[in-house]
Structure 1
Amino acid sequence: MGTYRYSAEFRADAVALVRSSDRPVAQVARDLGVNHETLRQWVKAAERAEDPVVVAESAKDAEIARLRRQVRELETEREILRKAAKYFARETGW
């Protein structure tokens, strides 16, 4: 819910404030009027987004998902062509 209530700019500024200050996340959240767990999740998400391993993993996952969609589409096309070939072979008497 917190990701829709606050703008991306506000979230980024809040995360930067947490990182640049020596204050605990709960205190920064209280000062900003944000739930401390929401702010903690924003910080975790920012850390994951900056981690090159996570970025590579998400790129890999996206590529795998794209390839799986493509395989399903090609299998569907192949099945349609197989049925069409069978139909036309029956029509022509092959």
Structure 2
Amino acid sequence: MLFRSVIRQGVQKRCYSASSVNGGGSAYYRYGTPIVKCTVLASATALAWQLLWQHLEYQEYREEAEDQITQLENRIKSLEQSNK
């Protein structure tokens, strides 16, 4: 208790031009920080989903291309066999 009363007497609240009179802090410090956190989290989540989607699309494209290559190779082999 004694320590708290000494601190209260020795430390005064700083007043800045952005601080409000009622001591609630500026609107940026009250609402800005959560909005920034939410925006950063939403951006990171959207980027992660975009990268995942792009990776899955590329895998699908790669599999289709390999299947088409295999079909063409088999056709070439069958044509070579029929010419002999």
Q: Radius of gyration: which is bigger?
A: 2
Runs ≥4 in structure 1, deviation > 4 angstroms? none
Identity %: 7
Greater helix share, 1 or 2?
1
Residue 74 of structure 1 deviates from its aligned partner by 0.5
**2:24 — aligned with what?**
50
Match of 1:26 in 2: none
Q: Residue 68 of structure 1 aligns to which amino acid in structure 2?
A: V
Gaps of 5+ in 1: 1-5, 7-29
- Amino acid corresponding to residue 24 of structure 2 in structure 1: E
Give the alignment's Cα RMSD to 1 decimal.
Answer: 3.4
Structure 2 unmatched runs, 5+: 69-84
CA–CA distance in structure 1, aligned partners of residues 45 and 59 of structure 2: 21
Matches of 1:72 and 1:60, distance apart in 2: 18
Task: Give the Å deviation of 1:83.
Answer: 0.8
Higher RCO structure, 1 or 2 (CA under 8 Å, sep 6+): 1
TM-score normalized with structure 2 length:
0.51
For 1:63, the aligned partner's letter is I
Give the 5 Å matches for 1:20-59.
Answer: 33-35=5-7, 36-37=10-11, 40-41=12-13, 49-51=23-25, 54=26, 56-58=27-29, 59=31
